[in-house]
Structure 1
Amino acid sequence: MTELTVGHIRHILDQAYPPALAESWDKVGLICGDPAASVEKVALALDCTQEVADRAVELGVDMLIIHHPLLLRGVTSVAADEPKGKVIHTLIRGGVALFSAHTNADSARPGVNDKLAELVGITPGRPIAPRHLDAMDKWGVQVMEKDAHHVKRSLFEAGAGEIGDYRECSFEFNGTGQFRPVGDANPTEGSVDELFRDLELRVEFVAPRRLRAHLLEVLRSAHPYEEPGFDIVEMPTTTPLETAYGLGRVGQLPEPMRLSDFVQQVADQLPATVWGVRATGDPDQMVSTVAVSSGSGDSFLDDVRRLGVDVFVTSDLRHHPVDEYLRAGGPAVVDTAHWASEFPWTSQVQELLEDQAPELSVDILNIRTDPWTMAAKPQA
């Protein structure tokens, strides 16, 4: 039997929750640990607090898998007398690797949002904000013939021009380009205040949309002009919206139900927290179409309003965005604790690892890392 390593577990998780699905600001993957280190026991949690790290070491686990990245925001020190540094030192001294799957797990199928959708009673359908890994752009770049080879080579090495099993795919044709440099321009060809005309090639190629920002950097670096001429056309995607990756989910309840009953259903199905669940809307309103977004979801309020759902389940909602959303005619909202909407994902990861690596011991650390620990109402 092949010995499992941190690298093996990372591969399983990357297959289930592709890193390419992570939002641009996110930091996902292996946080600490040796990919070659052996793994026999894994623990799962939503956050890596000091309590969670201590428990993982106490239980003798080899790898801790979490949702929220420990080092999401920049740090300049992981000294042992700093909070995050203390966690890192605890894990390394205890021989525990740390791995995070965050917004990539939110967008994956199945992922965090699918688990939340199932718990509130809907079959997860389309995302609120689709992410298409197969989305492609068609580029057109104008360049003088003498510079075309260098520009194309740079773009191809950065991932452009790949179609199936073919590489360096492009189409080009001749044309005449012109420009008049003015002001502080420093033209590679021509002179300031004089109209310049010359033969150029138009080079066309395709590239994954996820590489767009990187390819723009490569193009500006490789092209000899101060302002290269180019255009980008988004090509239609081939993935059906109902099965697309992306943040949030929309689905139908098996039968319409009163909003108040639905809110109670959400409260009953999610892990308990001190402050529970709160909601807006008419308690007697009948609801059937539901949108969910695990974690902080107020950035999707406008999207949800346009989707025509009856109720939106999410977390971390603030006064003013919700007030403006309701004034604009938005549907009812159910606001849950952030931790409660995402912690059930750990059971999904447990099932994944038990299926992909049955010899592995996988435990969920049932530590409530919701930061709110008290709630009070006025006494009668």
Structure 2
Amino acid sequence: MSSLTSDAMTVADIRQILETAYPPYLAEKWDAVGLICGDPAAKVSKVAFALDCTQAVAERAVEIGADMLVIHHPLLLRGVESVAADTPKGKVIHTLIRGGVALFAAHTNADSARPGVNDKLAELVGITPGRPIVPKDPKIIDKWGMHVPADSLEAVKAAVFDAGAGAIGDYSECAFQWEGQGQFTPGQGADPHTGTVGKPYTGSEMRVEFVAPSNLRARIIDKLRSAHPYEEPAFDVVEMAPTADLETACGLGRIGELDEPMTLREFTQQVANALPETAWGVRAAGDPERMVKRVAVSSGSGDSFLDNARALGVDVYVTSDLRHHPVDEHLRAGGPAVIDTAHWASEFPWTQQASEVVAAGAKVECEIISLRTDPWTISAHPDGA
């Protein structure tokens, strides 16, 4: 990407650079990413970066003369009814607007992007980031099969094709079909298109198979049900393997291998040495002397991927915000060792990556706000322990 002069740069330009690196379509459905406040036409000569937009961070952004603040955790992820200046989030918004600072968030789209938050975490703990724990391929394809009476075949095919099914490359309305026998017995309350309530029915039906992008699944089901003559049409949908190379696919988490095996105790210390220091520190669950080599990482809260880590055969899983019962059950089920880091520590290093993305795309000043926004401030152990 060629650099632009600062005189030409606007909030919209910086947004485009960031959304190219961290495409919004990679964000989880529940997420809220993108420009939170600010005028897209406003000029930008300095961009600041932080993990969270706390009040202290907002004030620091104004103090250093930033025109735009890029964060990871969206300020308005959950709905609010007011941004009045006497509410916590409202005070942040008013501070930024009065100071002329636009606010932009790249959250789960930055987690899944390549390179993204998880690549930075993987590199820091000592592995080359490979495949995601949970791949996210926007081109996932469904393979469909449906059963239709012969006299309704063309109408039902037309309906699903109209919904976007059956496209392969430069070809449209692609399908394969053959004839077979369908059987059912209508129950009480049924209003069968063919057959009689309470009596088994066997008749000629067509089996039709086609493919469609998975994001059209709900639309195709609606069209199929509307056009099909049966009250309960028979169909099946199978999600095909991702089309992207798994080793380079976008998605949440990363898997890789250490150059040399080491004990869990040694690797836990390596993780602690690599990440920003916090009061929380780094803790691990598992046999301290267990040898580990194959590693999974997931930035931020990652206990929802414990089953995935076990299924993928890793030796140790590095993430944050782990809870007692999920970890206990995971280990009892034979899962890999786990390392629990502070949420802030696992993601803050991304700010360096994001600043490099912007610096490579525009001639603007970039500054990382190094305020620690990890909420935990004290960690205590018994005297003499």
- Please state whether the residue corresponding to 1:279 is helix, strand or coil: strand
How many Å apart are 1:66 and its aligned residue? 1.3
1:218-367 → structure 2 map (5 Å cutoff)? 227=232, 229-355=234-360, 357-367=361-371
| Cα distance change of structure 1 residues 147 and 82 upon mapping to structure 2, 3 Å threshold | farther
| Cα distance change of structure 1 residues 213 and 15 upon mapping to structure 2, 3 Å threshold | farther
Q: Which residue of structure 1 lines up, in the alignment, with residue 20 of structure 2? A: 15
Q: Which residue of structure 1 lines up, in the alignment, with residue 163 of structure 2? A: 155
1:1-380 → structure 2 map (5 Å cutoff)? 3-140=8-145, 144=152, 151-152=159-160, 155-156=163-164, 160-164=165-169, 205-213=210-218, 215-216=220-221, 227=232, 229-355=234-360, 357-380=361-384
Q: Single out whichever of 141-150 and 88-97 deviates more from structure 2.
A: 141-150
- Please state whether the residue corresponding to 2:74 is helix, strand or coil: coil
Q: Single out whichever of 205-214 and 95-104 deviates more from structure 2.
A: 205-214
How many Å apart are 1:38 and its aligned residue? 2.9
Question: Residues 160 and 220 of structure 2 are in contact (CA less than 8 Å); yes or no, is this contact kept in structure 1?
Answer: no
List alignment gaps of at least 5 residues for structure 1.
Answer: none
- Please state whether the residue corresponding to 2:299 is helix, strand or coil: strand
Instruction: Tell me the TM-score normalised to structure 2 length.
Output: 0.83
- Please state whether the residue corresponding to 2:317 is helix, strand or coil: strand
Question: Residues 130 and 245 of structure 1 are in contact (CA less than 8 Å); yes or no, is this contact kept in structure 2?
Answer: yes
How many Å apart are 1:364 and its aligned residue? 1.1
Distance in structure 2 (CA, Å) of the matches to 1:211 and 1:43: 39
How much identity, in percent, do the aligned residues show?
67
How many Å apart are 1:342 and its aligned residue? 0.6
* Amino acid corresponding to residue 78 of structure 1 in structure 2: V
How many Å apart are 1:206 and its aligned residue? 3.2
Distance in structure 2 (CA, Å) of the matches to 1:225 and 1:48: 55
How many Å apart are 1:26 and its aligned residue? 1.9
How many Å apart are 1:119 and its aligned residue? 0.4
Distance in structure 2 (CA, Å) of the matches to 1:16 and 1:284: 40
Deviation readout 1:57-87 (Å, 9 max, x if unpaired): 2223222211112222222322322222222
Distance in structure 2 (CA, Å) of the matches to 1:325 and 1:203: 42
Q: Single out whichever of 31-40 and 332-341 deviates more from structure 2.
A: 31-40
Distance in structure 1 (CA, Å) of the matches to 2:97 and 2:194: 57
| Cα distance change of structure 1 residues 176 and 252 upon mapping to structure 2, 3 Å threshold | closer
Distance in structure 2 (CA, Å) of the matches to 1:6 and 1:188: 59
Distance in structure 1 (CA, Å) of the matches to 2:228 and 2:222: 10
Deviation readout 1:335-365 (Å, 9 max, x if unpaired): 100000011111111111111x231222111
Distance in structure 1 (CA, Å) of the matches to 2:368 and 2:303: 29
Distance in structure 1 (CA, Å) of the matches to 2:91 and 2:276: 28
| Cα distance change of structure 1 residues 99 and 185 upon mapping to structure 2, 3 Å threshold | farther
List alignment gaps of at least 5 residues for structure 2.
Answer: none
Distance in structure 1 (CA, Å) of the matches to 2:174 and 2:41: 38
Question: Residues 151 and 223 of structure 1 are in contact (CA less than 8 Å); yes or no, is this contact kept in structure 2?
Answer: no
Q: Return the structure number with greater relative CO, CA threshold 8 A, min gap 6.
A: 2
Instruction: Tell me the TM-score normalised to structure 1 length.
Output: 0.84
How many Å apart are 1:317 and its aligned residue? 0.8
How many Å apart are 1:211 and its aligned residue? 3.8
Question: Residues 155 and 227 of structure 2 are in contact (CA less than 8 Å); yes or no, is this contact kept in structure 1?
Answer: no
Deviation readout 1:277-296 (Å, 9 max, x if unpaired): 11123333322221111111
